[in-house]
Amino acid sequence: MSRFVVALTGGVAAGKSAVERCFEALGVRAYDADVAARAVVEPGSEALAEVARVFGADALDKDGRLDRAAMRQRVFADPAARTTLEGILHPRIRAWLRDAAEADAGPYCILSIPLLVENHAHYAWVNRVLVVDAPEDVRIARLMGRDGIDVDLARKMIAVQATREARLAIADDVIENHGDEVELAAQVAALHSRYLELSR
């Protein structure tokens, strides 16, 4: 990898998107694995065809797109289904992110990767790992508000991810995101200065 790349991660609803926006306000591009996940299953893609072949027609909505809500329920209920789906999508997501980083023209770029801990070995080529951290009760409240789900599903979504300890164990840098936007922007600005130095 010829670019300087920072991998950003954090538990669901920890505030990765807010951190991405702060970096982008400083002129740094952020490439999101969730955006990649949508791009690789566009209608007509190999990945979507494979998902439909493996999971059946009910994995698609009436417009022939991936039915995300139905698949989310399915994979949370069945760990084997989750592993199968990840096996189809993750290699393609990694390739999309690597291509985006290689093509980026800035001094460095951010790759936002929710499941970085679970796939850490596949991202050995990144230069830094930045973890955004937030208390579990804050994350549950954000999830319930954002996705319109109940507390049980919010807890399950958190429980299926890597632990906070596992994320912090791979971190080179940590941002504490308790919801104060001014403080968040200040933490990002300090890291931006550091990353500019490191990327030279």
- Amino acid 31: pLDDT: 97
Domain ranges of the chain: 1-29+104-200, 37-98
What is the model's pTM?
A: 0.86
- DSSP 3-state percent helix, strand, coil across the chain (nearest 5): 60, 10, 30
- Amino acid 179: pLDDT: 79
- Amino acid 107: pLDDT: 95
- Amino acid 129: pLDDT: 98
Question: How far is CA 134 from each of CA 59, 64, 71, 104, 168, rounded to the nearest angstrom?
Answer: 33, 37, 27, 29, 12
Mention the CATH class of domain 1-29+104-200.
alpha beta
What is the gyration radius of the CA atoms in the chain, in angstroms? 17
Q: What is the mean pLDDT of each run of 10 residues along the chain (200 residues)?
A: 91 93 97 94 95 94 92 91 94 96 96 92 96 94 94 92 94 93 96 97
